[in-house]
Structure 1
Amino acid sequence: MDSIPAEISRDIYGMPAFVSLTVADLDRTVDWYVNGLDFISLFTVPGPGGEPALVHLRRWRYQDILVRPGKADAGEGWTIGAMATLEQLDALAERARAHGGGTVDGPADTPWNTRDLRVTDPDGYTVVYTARRADGDRDARFNAMMEEEARRQLGG
């Protein structure tokens, strides 16, 4: 979780998991993720009339979002988790705030030794960028508790 991935890959690969969002305004949502949250638009699939039927967005490998236009209830309650590095969180927060159109909360430290940036897109879907806190900033008690639980589960 500490390494910085290479440039965003435009490779087409089998995705072990991905998120699909149905959104009221496709252009607005794609703009939010691309210009506000550092995703790329990998490709667009046209519908029968030529209008976009699906846009494939990507940030890092296996951080893929498929966006489709349509009527859907607001995305409240949905959270998408995405890995980031500590060095990226402040810049992502600043970029999303400058872009506007959604909400930005953080980055802030969590009790489980991560630093999280929570952003909500114009359709109400939430993306949480999570980075592992630096060694000197981690809670030793939490680490000890997790190590003890791992030993317990392994029967040791």
Structure 2
Amino acid sequence: MIHLRRAQYRDILLRPAREALEGPLGKGIRLSFTLNSEDEASMREIAARTAKYTQGSVEGPLATPWNTVDVVGTDPDGYVIVLTTVADRTRTWEQLKKSVRSSDQPVKIGD
């Protein structure tokens, strides 16, 4: 993996494909955008609005072990867009490091 950083929170992570990429044009492309002014409620609204579109798919909002709330959209060509915001702004970096395990996965936030 290659981690390119322009400034804090402006990162690009590049890694080689694990298998041959056949299929949709966007397979393997995942873009993530941080929405600093959003919260869990507004992320729910974003997920609900985008789920109304018949093209592609929407997952979320998802609570991640790394203290974010994410909405993940996949378009018909396979491109993945992740909209993310901080879940708990009071958590410290030390608390976060202690709580995340390598096997942790995002979970759907209940309605």
TM range (shorter): 0.5 to 0.7
Q: Which has the higher helix share?
A: 1
Deviations, residues 120-140 of structure 1 (Å, cap 9, x unaligned): 012110000010013468897
Moved over 4 A (4+): 136-140
Q: Which amino acid aligns with 1:92?
A: I
> Residue 52 of structure 2: SS of its match in structure 1?
helix
Question: Given the alignment, which residue of 92, 112, 117 partners 2:71?
Answer: 117
Superposition map of 1:3-152 within 5 A: 73-84=24-35, 85-86=38-39, 87-135=41-89, 141-143=95-97
Which string of whole-angstrom CA distances, capped at 9 and with x for unpartnered residues, describes residues 38-86 of structure 1? xxxxxxxxxxxxxxxxxxxxxxxxxxxxxxxxxx952011001112212
Q: CA RMSD in A?
A: 3.2
- Indicate the SS of the match to 2:28: coil
CA distance in 1, matches of 2:74, 2:86: 21
Shift of 1:112: 0.8
Tell me the secondary structure at the aligned position of residue 106 of structure 1.
strand
Please state how far the C-alpha of 1:88 moved relative to its aligned partner. Answer: 2.7
How many percent of aligned residue pairs carry the same amino acid? 30
Partners of 1:138 and 1:94 lie apart in 2 by 30
The alpha-carbon distance between structure 1 residues 110 and 138, as it changes in their structure 2 partners (threshold 3 A), is farther
Q: Which residue is 2:109 aligned to?
A: none
The alignment's TM-score, normalised by the length of structure 1, stands at 0.41
Letter in 1 for 2:47: A
**Counterpart amino acid of 1:107?**
P
Q: Distance in 1 between matches of 2:69 and 2:92?
A: 10
TM-score (norm: length of structure 2): 0.55
Q: Is the 8 A contact 1:113 1:138 kept in 2?
A: no
1:134 & 1:141 partners in 2: Cα distance?
A: 11
One-letter identity of the residue aligned with 2:61:
P
Q: Which has the larger radius of gyration?
A: 1
